[in-house]
Amino acid sequence: MKELKLKRCRKCNALVKVLEDCNCKGCGIICCDEAMEEVKANSVDASFERHIPTYEKGGDNIHIKVDHVMEEDHYIEWILVKTEKENREIILKPKETPEMTVPYEKGALIYAYCNKHGLWKTVVE
Binding stretches for Fe ion (CB under 5 A)? 114, 116-117
Q: How far is the CB of 77 from Fe ion (least distance, A)?
A: 10
Q: How far is the CB of 69 from Fe ion (least distance, A)?
A: 7
Determine the Cα–Cα distance for residues 83 and 102; give it in Å rounded to an integer.
11
Q: How far is the CB of 11 from Fe ion (least distance, A)?
A: 22
Report the residue number, 16 or 46, with the smaller CB distance to Fe ion.
46
Query: Which amino acid is residue 35, in one-letter code?
Result: A
* Continuous segment of H or E residues that includes residue 92: none
Judging by beta carbons within 10 Å of its beta carbon (0-12, 13-18, 19+), is residue 58 exposed, middle or buried? exposed
Q: Specify whether the CB–CB gap between 115 and 8 falls below 8 A.
A: no
Report the residue number, 77 or 105, with the smaller CB distance to Fe ion.
77
Report the residue number, 47 or 61, with the smaller CB distance to Fe ion.
47
